[in-house]
């Protein structure tokens, strides 16, 4: 449970977290830098796992540990795919940002090929949410909190 500044309480586990996606391209006048970035706009530390498809198939990687209000480059260079998948956990207050695309993870640092039979292969199975970059070459994902239940 999180105590809000107004004195209200809510759980991070449900839909009480808002994922704000914003396009980073065009924000700066400098040309050429193209990456997949993630910014933690919350007051707590978060762990990030990323899933995507490369030339050899599906891959999941983790964990990037981001401090409150911190940003990290998850993939360097122009984005090669339209869709990326993210699973994030709030280390300080509990809860997660998750979705319906199930992929393999583990408790410690990992790079895992394939998304099938996670449990049988000794991995955890986590639900990732989809990020549609609209085929842009540069994208920033922002994890945020909201006071609106179901937001």
d(CA 42, CA 81): 27
Instruction: Compute the average pLDDT of residues 30-50.
Output: 86
User: At 146, is the pLDDT very low, low, confident or very high (cuts 50, 70, 90)?
Assistant: low
Beta-carbon contacts of residue 31 (< 8 Å; ≥ 6 apart): none
d(CA 23, CA 138): 7
pLDDT at 17: 36
Top pLDDT among 7 and 117 is at 117
List pLDDT tens digits, range 50-88: 999 999 999 999 999 999 999 999 999 999 899 999 999
pLDDT at 86: 96
Residue 48 has pLDDT above 90, yes or no: yes
What per-residue string of b and e applies to 8-37 under the rule 16 or more CB within 10 Å gives b? eebebeeebbebeeeebeeeeeeeeebbbb
Top pLDDT among 61 and 19 is at 61
Nearest one of 142, 109, 137 to 22, comparing CA atoms: 142
Top pLDDT among 59 and 3 is at 59
pTM of the predicted model, to two decimals?
Answer: 0.76
Structure tokens that stand for 128 in this block: 């990732």
Residue 97, CB-side half-sphere exposure with 13 Å CA sphere? 30
pLDDT at 25: 40
List pLDDT tens digits, range 92-138: 988 899 999 999 999 999 999 999 999 999 999 999 999 999 988 99
CA–centroid distance for 149 within its chain: 20
């Amino acid at each position: 449970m999180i105590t809000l500044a107004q004195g209200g309480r809510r759980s991070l586990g449900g839909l009480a977290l808002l994922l704000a996606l914003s396009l980073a391209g065009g924000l700066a006048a400098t040309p050429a830098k193209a990456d997949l970035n993630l910014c933690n706009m919350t007051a707590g530390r978060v762990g990030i796992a990323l899933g995507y498809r490369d030339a050899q198939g599906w891959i999941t990687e983790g964990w990037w540990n981001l401090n409150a209000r911190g940003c990290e480059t998850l993939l360097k260079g122009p984005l090669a795919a339209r869709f990326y998948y993210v699973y994030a956990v709030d280390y300080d207050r509990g809860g997660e940002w998750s979705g319906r695309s199930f992929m393999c993870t583990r408790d410690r640092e990992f790079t895992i090929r394939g998304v099938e039979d996670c449990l049988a292969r000794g991995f955890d199975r986590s639900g990732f949410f989809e990020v549609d970059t609209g085929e842009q070459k540069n994208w920033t994902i922002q994890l945020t909190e909201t006071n609106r239940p179901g937001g």
